[in-house]
Amino acid sequence: MLELFYSPFGEFEFMQRAVVGVIAIALGGGPIGVFLMLRRMSLTGDAMAHAILPGAAIGYLFAGLSLPALTVGGLFAGVIVAVAAGLVSRFTSLKEDASLAAFYLLSLALGVTIVSLRGSNVDLLHVLFGTVLALDDNALLLLASISTVTFLALAVLYRPLVLECVDPTFLRSVSRAGTPTHLIFLGLVVLNLVGGFHALGTLLAVGMMMLPAAAARFWSSDITMMMILSVLIGIVSGISGLLLSFHAELPAGPAIILSAGIVYVGSLILGREGGLLWLAWPGKHLEA
């Protein structure tokens, strides 16, 4: 029985690389997903995941499936869309969520069109759904670097990020760190989405950020514990998804996100912090 869990990673190098990749994505994406959820920016993460597609597609148009070209293009496009959506919401009557939705729809259509101009359907699937089973040394180094940068940045920005989640008005009244913290946080979101893009594609990268974070919320109300749980859930979901894809011959990226979704549904039902069973279970009444 244990061979079903061990043998794929012991015998095949591409599975070993995939495990390292999903662990790196979970380490960086889990904590970012927690702050996106607490700041009510979950859909912002989804919009920005689609926003990196045109930049990656332009990089693909000039250099093919080149890691540096796709990375730089995706980062450039993500930053442009984030800044543009913020400017539109600031200087017009359109809210930020609506402007992000408009930009992400345009980005998705433009990116798919650009890839289709030169590439095949296989290339389009590569861009949209990633190739977690084909990660090379450079891709793993990129993912590890993004996780390291994310951890260091969150360690520095932890207090203002938590304050902004709890009481942004108080943070603005006592410090000018609110705006720089927000901008750096958006940069970390784009950075982790670009890293996840190489393994899971633009359509699924945000899943490894939001599903573990949402599942962790049903088990703890402490922010630090939620971050730890989100990382653990992301790692477990990644490994179980890879095993599912190997034994059931399913696409690896969707299998990983499905595994994270199963953990989320289980947490929704069983979680101690607002899970359905705990809400339905009659509590003890106060006794005099």
pLDDT of residue 288: 46
pLDDT of residue 74: 85
Confidence of residue 23 (pLDDT cuts 50, 70, 90): very high
Angle at which helix 53-63 crosses helix 121-129, to 10 degrees, equals: 140
Cβ–Cβ < 8 Å for 275, 218? yes
The residue written with tokens 């393994």 in the block is 199
DSSP one-letter code for 64: S
Q: What is the mean pLDDT of the chain?
A: 84
Bigger pLDDT: 97 or 36?
A: 36
Count of CB atoms within 10 A of residue 140's CB?
A: 17
Tens of pLDDT, residue by residue over 125-148, are 777 777 888 888 998 999 999 999
- Set out the domains of the chain in order of their start, with CATH numbers: 7-277 (1.10.3470.10)
Coil, strand or helix: which one is 251? coil
- CB-based burial label for 256 (10 Å; 0-12, 13-18, 19+): buried
pLDDT of residue 257: 94
Tens of pLDDT, residue by residue over 175-187, are 776 778 778 888 8
Angle at which helix 96-118 crosses helix 42-51, to 10 degrees, equals: 30
Among candidate residues 259, 79, 260, 54, the one with its CA nearest the CA of residue 187: 79
What's the pTM value of the predicted model, to 2 decimals?
Answer: 0.86
Tens of pLDDT, residue by residue over 99-110, are 777 777 888 788
Bigger pLDDT: 281 or 122?
A: 281
